Amino acid sequence: MKLTKLLQCQGFGTRRECAALVLDGRVEILGEEASDPDMEVSSQNLSFKIDGEAWCYREKAYVMLNKPAGYECSQRPKHHPSVLSLLPIQFRNRGLQTVGRLDEDTTGLLLLTDDGQFLHIYTSPKKNIAKVYRATVKHPLTDAQLTALCAGVVLHDDPEPVVAQSAIARDAHTLELTVTGGKYHQVKRMVAAVGNRVEALHRERMGEFCLPPDLKSGEWCYVEPDRAS
């Protein structure tokens, strides 16, 4: 693959912009400054540097973000900044999309990718991908509320009960709720349906992915999914 094409597919700009990066001496390949934009390079296990910052070639990108409150999961946000503004511009250039959405005030694990197959697997209701949330609730939790969540509650827009896979009280005001699907404001509405109210919501796990304890709010990292195509 020509160097300019490789840089372009990794999100470093148009082909002309990527050629300029090389001609300006800003690209290193295998520890040496690249000078020819049309040089042939192997993408296999390739590490390169742009302006001294190390990057690895990835045919598909899989990113985990610890989403802070006050950000929208949209490329065209209406009221708050997009979560994409928290990532390097290279990811936006290569078309990363959020894998599902979190409300603007919900925090925690958010996946982003440019792999359409992976996106489909993790957003399809038929796949039943489990999601684990930590909800801070207004009123003390009761056994009756936990039982009702696992038995199923009816939401206004769906006659079929929505069932939690598990509902555990970590303490009087902290609920660990595991659900599948992704209905609008699902967790908040489920909790409301049993007579309580979500004051804060944080996603800790999604499918095979668990939010690392050292990934701070607003930070991101690469992940390597088992289901990656």
- Active-site residues: which are they? 103
Q: Please enumerate in sequence order all residues whose Cβ is within 8 A of that of 174, keeping only pairs 6 or more positions apart, or say none.
A: 134, 135, 136, 137
- The CB-based long-range contact list for 122-125 (8 Å cut-off, 24+ gap) reads 122/206, 122/207, 123/99, 123/182, 125/180, 125/181, 125/182
**Can you tell me the distance from the alpha carbon of 32 to that of 22, in angstroms, rounded to the nearest whole number?**
12
Eight-class DSSP state of 182: -
Neighbours of 13 (CB within 10 A): 17
